[in-house]
């Protein structure tokens, strides 16, 4: 197998897959595998240098993952970047899987072993098809229920080669095959620690604003800057929720921005200003009950003022590069996000205020 083969299998580096394949070839087999031991997909390693597409079918959905020579992309999601590590793990695991013993050939028993046709909306099976650069199928397998083993020998999986009624118990398990279709995408949108956020300004569709800010770069908490007169925040940490919004934000699905217009009268805007000068602008719209965002970054400017007129220097992070990378990933895209990740942004000023104590009723007359 040549270096190109290794690179395609990993989606990362040739060296990484060299180690994986060496480990695969040198790993001891289980006793049952010594008897049967036939590779589940014998053509995968041999023909992997021609591998172009991995097609995943599950619960009535299909996602085609295409290799461009450097990265994997999701065809049905306008070629958005796919999760290369997950695809790498899938391919290496499939290359290692071997048959232990034949099970049923009765289609009536497929659902019990979760190797039924994955076209059904409620199907629990996952079909993975491997296509080469000429459109020829290298192999296709339906992955079913796992068989868990006690000890160190690893777990097994019920599988069925596409077009073959025979169900096999195979050595190995494809953990990532049990994920949803969108989990094959590169899910990270942005991840900025809350402690570098100096100011957040949220503007609701009706013009109402909530502004949270650190009074100085040393302040441990943000405060609501534009509190109504005589009002108090619900707690000292109430405003900190805004700074945490960009920490570990992930997508559930993705669409081309042009295909997902945000109505102006239904769009909330949040501007996050970093204490090192960067700015992240996020638009949020709820469309058909689902939260979608569009996001972009602005690199630091040396002329930009900092909270408390104090300049903060972070030599550990190249914020200019981080903003450029953010825009390279997000420009032209709209992202469906979990509701809990953006729920704070929907809070109105009244939600942030300390509630007045209810008047005590006097003793009965």
| Mean pLDDT, 10 residues at a time, the chain of 365 residues | 46 43 38 61 90 94 94 96 93 94 96 93 92 96 90 84 95 73 92 95 96 88 84 76 96 96 96 95 97 97 49 71 96 97 93 67 58
Looking at the structure, do residues 148 and 201 belong to the same domain, yes or no?
no
User: Residue 207's pLDDT is what?
Assistant: 96
Looking at the structure, do residues 206 and 152 belong to the same domain, yes or no?
no
User: Residue 306's pLDDT is what?
Assistant: 44
Query: What is the model's pTM?
Result: 0.80
Of 158, 178, 198, the last residue of a domain is 178
Looking at the structure, do residues 160 and 201 belong to the same domain, yes or no?
no
Looking at the structure, do residues 329 and 308 belong to the same domain, yes or no?
yes
Both structure tokens of 168: 């096999």
Q: Are 245 and 338 in contact (CB under 8 A)?
A: no
Question: Domain span at residue 69?
Answer: 3-178
Q: Are 37 and 99 in contact (CB under 8 A)?
A: yes
Does 40 map to a domain? yes
Looking at the structure, do residues 192 and 174 belong to the same domain, yes or no?
no
User: Residue 10's pLDDT is what?
Assistant: 45
Looking at the structure, do residues 230 and 270 belong to the same domain, yes or no?
yes
Does 357 map to a domain? no
User: Residue 133's pLDDT is what?
Assistant: 95
| Nearest-angstrom CA–CA distance, 305 and 284 | 26
Pairs from 229-232 (Cβ < 8 Å, separation ≥ 24): 231/353, 231/354, 232/353, 232/354
User: Residue 17's pLDDT is what?
Assistant: 44
Measure Cα distances from 140 to 130, 163, 209 in Å: 6, 9, 54
User: Residue 219's pLDDT is what?
Assistant: 86
The domain total for the chain is 2
**Per-residue pLDDT tens over the stretch 337-346:** 999 999 999 9
Q: Are 322 and 293 in contact (CB under 8 A)?
A: no
Of 178, 199, 216, the last residue of a domain is 178
| Nearest-angstrom CA–CA distance, 55 and 65 | 6
Q: Are 223 and 233 in contact (CB under 8 A)?
A: yes
**Per-residue pLDDT tens over the stretch 112-136:** 999 999 988 889 999 999 999 999 9
Does 104 map to a domain? yes
Looking at the structure, do residues 267 and 312 belong to the same domain, yes or no?
yes
User: Residue 12's pLDDT is what?
Assistant: 43
Contacts (Cβ under 8 Å, ≥6 apart) of 246: 190, 191, 192, 194, 197, 272, 280, 282
Q: Are 131 and 52 in contact (CB under 8 A)?
A: yes
Q: Are 354 and 234 in contact (CB under 8 A)?
A: yes
**Per-residue pLDDT tens over the stretch 210-235:** 999 998 888 888 988 888 877 777 66
Looking at the structure, do residues 172 and 29 belong to the same domain, yes or no?
yes
Looking at the structure, do residues 212 and 138 belong to the same domain, yes or no?
no
Looking at the structure, do residues 286 and 161 belong to the same domain, yes or no?
no
Does 171 map to a domain? yes
User: Residue 177's pLDDT is what?
Assistant: 52
Tell me the three-class secondary structure of the chain, residue by residue: CCHHHHHHHHCCCHHHHHHHHHHHHHCCCCHHHHHCCCECCCHHHHHHHHEEEEEEEECCEEEEEEECCCCEEEHHHCCEEECHHHHHHHHHHHHHCEEEEECCCCHHHHHHHCCCCCCCCCCCCEEEEEEECCCCEEEEEEEEEEECCCCCCCCEEEEEECCCCCEEEEECCCHHHHCCHHHHECCEEECCCHHHEEEEEEECCCCCEEEEECCCCCCCCCEECCCCCCCCECCCCCCHHHHCCCCCEECCEEEEHHHCCCCHHHEEEEEEEECCCCEEEEEEEEECCEEEEEEEEECCCCCCCCHHHCCCCCCCCCHHHHHHHHHHHHCCEEEECCHHHHHHHHCCHHHHECCCCCCCCCCCC
User: Residue 359's pLDDT is what?
Assistant: 57
């Amino acid at each position: 197998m040549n270096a190109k083969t290794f690179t395609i299998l990993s989606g990362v580096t040739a060296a990484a897959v060299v180690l994986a394949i060496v480990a695969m070839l040198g790993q001891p087999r289980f006793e049952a595998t010594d008897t049967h031991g036939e590779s589940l997909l014998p053509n995968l390693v041999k023909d992997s240098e021609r591998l172009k597409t991995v097609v995943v079918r599950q619960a009535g959905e299909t996602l085609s993952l295409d290799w461009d020579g450097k990265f994997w992309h999701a065809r049905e999601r306008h070629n958005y970047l796919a999760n290369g590590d997950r695809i790498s793990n899938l391919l290496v695991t499939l290359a290692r899987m071997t048959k232990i013993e034949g099970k049923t050939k009765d289609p009536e028993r497929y659902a019990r072993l979760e190797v039924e046709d994955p076209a059904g909306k409620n199907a629990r099976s996952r079909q993975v098809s491997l296509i080469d650069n000429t459109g020829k199928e290298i192999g296709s397998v339906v992955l079913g229920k796992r068989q868990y083993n006690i000890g160190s020998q690893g777990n097994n999986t019920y599988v069925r080669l596409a077009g073959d009624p025979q169900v096999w118990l195979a050595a190995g398990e494809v953990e990532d095959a049990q994920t949803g279709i969108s989990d094959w995408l590169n899910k990270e949108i942005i991840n900025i620690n809350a402690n570098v956020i100096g100011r957040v300004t949220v503007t609701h569709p009706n013009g109402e604003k909530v502004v949270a800010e650190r009074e100085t770069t040393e302040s441990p908490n943000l405060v609501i800057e534009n509190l109504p007169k005589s009002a108090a925040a619900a707690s000292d940490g109430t405003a900190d929720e805004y700074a945490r919004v960009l920490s570990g934000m992930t997508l559930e699905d993705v669409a081309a921005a042009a295909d997902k217009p945000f109505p102006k009268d239904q769009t909330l805007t949040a501007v996050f200003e970093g204490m090192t000068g960067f700015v992240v602008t996020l638009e949020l719209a709820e469309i058909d009950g689902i939260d979608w965002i569009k996001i972009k970054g602005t690199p630091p400017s040396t002329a930009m003022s900092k909270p408390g007129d104090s300049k903060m220097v972070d030599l550990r992070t190249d914020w200019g590069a981080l903003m450029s990378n953010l825009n390279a990933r997000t420009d032209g895209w709209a992202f469906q996000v979990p509701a809990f990740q953006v729920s704070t942004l929907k809070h109105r000023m009244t939600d942030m205020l300390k509630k007045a104590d209810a008047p005590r009723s006097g003793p009965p007359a």
